[in-house]
Amino acid sequence: MNLLITGSAGFIGSHLVERFLAEGHTLVGVDNYISGQRRNTELFLAHPGFRFIQADVSHGLPYGGPGLDWVLHFASPASPPHYQQHPIETLMVGAQGTQHALDLAHRHGAKFMLASTSEVYGDPHVHPQPETYWGNVNPNGPRSCYDEAKRYAEAITMAYHHHKGLDTRIIRIFNTYGPRMRADDGRVVTNFINQALEGKPLTVYGDGSQTRSFQFVDDLVEGIVRLMQVTYHQPVNLGNPDEYSILQFAQIIRDRINPTLNIVFEPMPQDDPKQRKPDITIARELLEWQPQTDLSTGITATIAYFQPSLTR
Ligand code: NAD
Ligand code: UDP
């Protein structure tokens, strides 16, 4: 297959590039590096099946190559500090960027996948969250640039499916972690691991009773590949239902790296969801998929990635 992936220099995008090249497909990666890393592109530049275009997909997708089988739209800042630092760019990539990616897929008769998010559920009143839950999102709070952009992106994806016959997929990704995240991206996994590796206190926001469910990136990539092999147009949750409070998670990371470190409490950010855990019944039944990597194994791989980067 010939695939185009937006956001290819990001954390998840780079793992998709790696997987598809390993399977013998050809790939075009597109990224503007707003939250990605050049070294995630450099990993693949020597591969004959890989080509990279540096472009802002909100302004268009300058692809003039051979026919495409898939357009995978993963471009978007994803960590709360990143998207709150770039709220307009985040809204634009969810809106114009998604439309450009949909139009490209339509021109090529390609299939299309949207990387949506558990953030469409906002601060959920239903727990765990099934795909049928409509969510509880503040439409103009500090997280709205991301949440509402993704909700719009889902809406326009379904509109292209129903009105233009595009063959679409929507995945709702729950908190995912692993190697190639940016050490400074401000998400909880990277913050806690890097704070602990540097011998600093771990910063828990609020009292740490809010929960998240952490999925290792290899499990997500497997779920994506399986969804590409079936025909299903409704959103599909991809996440690990193993749920932890953030305080528990801080204790796990601290005890793995340096049990003498302190945990300090800082103010809770506005509109921070109090609980999050995916209902993965659809993915289990449709894709015969469920996460295979437990937290301990995934964290070991992630710590191993960040440890040498301290001395780079
Ligand atoms: P990331 O920030 O590491 O990667 C996103 C990539 O998109 C970056 O390389 C960035 O430079 C690029 N990008 C952003 N705007 C762009 C634009 N206008 N034009 C071109 N490139 C642009 O984030 P990630 O964690 O890899 O997330 C990838 C996708 O998955 C995002 O769409 C995100 O919303 C979604 N997602 C991720 C998670 C998670 O836990 N990691 C959870 C839910 C959804
Ligand atoms: N968090 C924290 N300390 C940090 C970073 C994040 O306690 O240094 C909390 C944050 O308030 C949220 C959870 O960890 O409740 C997950 O945050 P993250 O930014 O990773 O992703 P989110 O799920 O909020 O998008």
Per annotation, catalytic residue among 63, 83, 121, 146: 146
- In the predicted model, is pLDDT for residue 311 greater than 50? no
Indicate the fold that domain 188-209+243-276+300-311 takes in CATH: UDP-galactose 4-epimerase; domain 1 (3.90.25)
- In the predicted model, is pLDDT for residue 70 greater than 90? yes
Task: State the span(s) of the chain assigned CATH 3.40.50.720.
Answer: 2-178+214-241+278-293
State the Cα–Cα distance between residues 51 and 2, nearest whole angstrom.
11
Residue identifier of the C-alpha nearest atom 19 of ligand 2: 187
Q: What is the pLDDT of residue 252?
A: 98
Task: State the span(s) of the chain assigned CATH 3.90.25.10.
Answer: 188-209+243-276+300-311
Q: What is the pLDDT of residue 309?
A: 61
Say which residue the tokens 């890393």 belong to.
37
Domain 2-178+214-241+278-293 annotated CATH 3.40.50.720: yes
Compute the distance from residue 75 Cα to the ligand 1 centre, in Å: 5
Residue range 256-285: average pLDDT? Answer: 98
Compute the distance from residue 135 Cα to the ligand 1 centre, in Å: 21
ipTM: 0.99
pTM here is 0.98
Please give the number of the atom of ligand 1 that sits closest to the Cα of 89.
18
99 and 156 Cβ atoms separated by less than 8 Å: yes
139 and 82 Cβ atoms separated by less than 8 Å: no
Query: Per-residue pLDDT tens for 163-211?
Result: 999 999 999 999 999 999 999 999 999 999 999 999 999 999 999 999 9
269 and 204 Cβ atoms separated by less than 8 Å: no
Q: What is the pLDDT of residue 312?
A: 42
Query: 187 in ligand 2 pocket by Cβ < 6 Å?
Result: yes
Please give the mean pLDDT across all residues of the chain: 97
Q: What is the pLDDT of residue 133?
A: 98
Pick from 129, 137, 212 the residue to mutate for probing ligand 2's pocket: most ligand atoms within 8 Å of its CB: 212
